[in-house]
């Protein structure tokens, strides 16, 4: 590449471009430091509005000093070539990272979103509305540090308006409804775009897509808010709720500030748990035990030191150990029960979400929900009823998938095997549905035949395991008691 200069910078290679200019990796001749230089195209310099935006972007960036906002080192807008220099972030953009990975884990997305909130809150505190929040405007360092860039479309509360009322500027996939209508913007307009970015980090695509810009704009204005957790069930419902709040059609319904959004993100990433302080069970020490010594049978009393411990005058030490062990066992059981209930609750939430997805008119969504439910270890009776209902109505492939899911959960579906038998005899349904119904009926019939034997075997195994645990626990407890009595 032929050397290009915008003194005192040597331009090395282009690393980005957009409607407001081109960005080059450059070398500062003063100390050989690598920086990024943003150039306004020569033909764009004749446009007074673009020139004013470029100049204002440079002036505002020089005033913003925050670790999550790209630092501006200055430039010029007086000569024929307008440019300014800023810090160079080598890791690429968030958009490139999402494209590379497909989507980010919800923990990573929350961490990035909190950094975005820090940048937005700082900008909003200085009266700056970005107006073009999107993944390609967030630079990611190699250490995972996020920096907000491209302030070409900003609105400054004290500055001169450069966009006529009623005009729409920005990126349609991330535009708030008020921005689409050309209405006055506020800090909450940036928060709407933030919700779109969080949704894209979690799912790999923006919340509203279409074949053209008017279609996407219409969806921002009228379509219901999509739920990220319905696409990926591991996403916490609290995070899904926060996204829905950020994507509210009315600006007043959104969170009041980026700081408030960050607080909710912190609660999701590190949920506050109520810690119950348990007073420790005090055990008498040797120094607090009686000093009188009872010699063992056959031993003579002596003035010499005795090698065994003094016996307690009462049972307080033994009672303390018994209470301590009992409390520890109770706490262990409660922790295990709580973990099991939490896991069961999480699976129930996921199961209910998939049942709701089955009710959607889209056959693809129904198939995804049914096939996912088929992989669950157990299902509730209400879900079995929904799967059976899906065998009656809907497309043929949905009916076949629902019958297959019932066969996978034969133990829970035994009660409807005669309804499946009637379905396989129904000449009004297709041959594929009848064949699958026949296979499902055979599986349910076998499950019903062996259910009694399985129940007896299960109870027998439970009885043996419980007896073994109880016997082992009794022997351990007796040994502990013997040691405590000796001590």
Residue 401 tokens read as 């998938």
Catalytic pick from 132, 150, 190, 240? 132
The answer to whether the CB of 74 falls within 8 A of the CB of 62 is yes
Residues 258 and 191: beta-carbon distance below 8 Å:
yes
DSSP for 129-148, written as a single string: E-S---GGGEEE-TTS-EEE
Helix (H, G, I), strand (E, B) or coil at 206: coil
With b meaning 16 or more CB within 10 Å and e meaning fewer, what string describes 310-348? eebeeeebbeebbeeeeeeeeeeeeeeeeeeeeeeeebe
Write the Ramachandran bin of 30: left for phi over 0, alpha for psi from -120 to 50, otherwise beta. alpha
φ, ψ at 81 (rounded to 5°): -100, 105
Which contiguous run of DSSP H or E holds residue 9?
Answer: strand 9-18
Q: Is 132 a catalytic residue?
A: yes
What's the DSSP call for residue 25?
E
For the record, the structure tokens of 358 come out as 């089955």
Strands 21-28 and 4-6: unpaired
What does DSSP assign to residue 271?
A: -
CA 87 to each of CA 33, 34, 72, 144, 394: distance values in angstroms, whole numbers, following the listed order = 10, 8, 7, 16, 57
CA dist 207 and 173 (Å) reads 8
Q: Which two tokens stand for residue 194?
A: 């933030």
Q: The tokens 């005899």 sit on which residue?
A: 425
> Longest Cα pair distance anywhere in the chain, in angstroms?
113
User: Rounded distance, CA 220 to CA 248, Å?
Assistant: 10
| DSSP H helices in 396-430 | 396-408, 410-413, 417-424
Q: What is the 3-state secondary structure (H, E, C) of 56-123?
A: HHHHHHHHCCCCCECCEEEEECCCCCCEEEECCCCCCEHHHHHHHHCCCCHHHHHHHHHHHHHHHHHH
Active site residues: 132
């Amino acid at each position: 590449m032929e050397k290009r200069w915008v003194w005192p910078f040597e331009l090395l290679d282009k690393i980005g471009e957009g409607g407001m200019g081109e960005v080059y990796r450059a070398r500062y001749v003063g100390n050989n430091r690598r920086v990024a230089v943003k150039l306004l195209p020569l033909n764009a310099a004749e446009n007074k509005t673009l020139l004013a935006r470029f100049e204002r972007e440079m002036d505002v960036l020089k005033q913003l000093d925050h670790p999550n906002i790209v630092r501006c080192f200055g430039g010029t807008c007086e000569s024929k070539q307008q440019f300014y220099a800023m810090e160079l972030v080598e890791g690429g953009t968030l958009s490139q990272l999402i494209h590379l990975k497909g989507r980010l884990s919800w923990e990573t997305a929350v961490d990035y979103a909190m950094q975005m909130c820090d940048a937005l809150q700082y900008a909003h505190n200085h009266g700056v509305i970005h107006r073009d929040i999107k993944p390609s405007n967030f630079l990611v360092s190699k250490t995972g540090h996020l920096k907000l860039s491209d302030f070409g479309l900003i609105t400054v509360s004290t500055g001169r308006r450069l966009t006529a009322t009623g005009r729409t500027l920005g990126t349609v996939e991330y535009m708030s409804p008020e921005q689409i209508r050309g209405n006055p913007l506020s800090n909450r307009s940036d928060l709407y775009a933030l919700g779109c970015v969080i949704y894209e980090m979690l799912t790999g695509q923006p919340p509203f897509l279409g074949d053209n810009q008017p279609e996407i704009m219409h969806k921002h204005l009228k379509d219901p808010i999509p739920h990220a957790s319905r696409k990926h069930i591991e996403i916490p419902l609290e995070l899904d709720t926060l996204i829905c709040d950020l994507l509210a059609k009315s600006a007043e319904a959104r969170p009041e500030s980026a700081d408030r959004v960050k607080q909710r993100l912190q609660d999701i990433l590190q949920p506050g748990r109520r810690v119950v302080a348990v007073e420790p069970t005090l055990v008498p020490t040797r120094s607090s035990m009686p000093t009188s010594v009872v010699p063992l049978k056959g031993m003579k009393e002596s003035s010499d030191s005795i090698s065994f411990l003094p016996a307690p005058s009462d049972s307080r030490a033994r009672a303390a150990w018994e209470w301590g062990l009992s409390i520890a066992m109770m706490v262990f059981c409660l922790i295990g029960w709580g973990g099991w209930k939490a896991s069961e609750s999480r699976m129930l939430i996921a199961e209910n979400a998939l049942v709701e997805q089955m009710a959607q008119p889209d056959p693809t969504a129904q198939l995804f929900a049914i096939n996912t439910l088929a992989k669950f270890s157990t299902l509730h009776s209400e879900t079995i009823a929904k799967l059976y209902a899906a065998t009656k109505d809907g497309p043929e492939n949905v009916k076949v998938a629902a019958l297959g899911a019932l066969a996978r959960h034969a133990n829970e579906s035994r009660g409807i095997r005669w309804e499946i038998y009637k379905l396989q005899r129904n000449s009004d349904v297709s041959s594929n549905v009848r064949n699958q119904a026949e296979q499902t009926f055979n599986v349910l019939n076998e499950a019903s035949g062996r259910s009694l034997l399985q129940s007896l075997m299960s109870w027998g195994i439970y009885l043996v395991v419980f007896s073994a645990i109880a016997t082992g626990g009794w022997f351990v407890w007796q040994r502990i008691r013997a040691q405590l009595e000796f001590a």
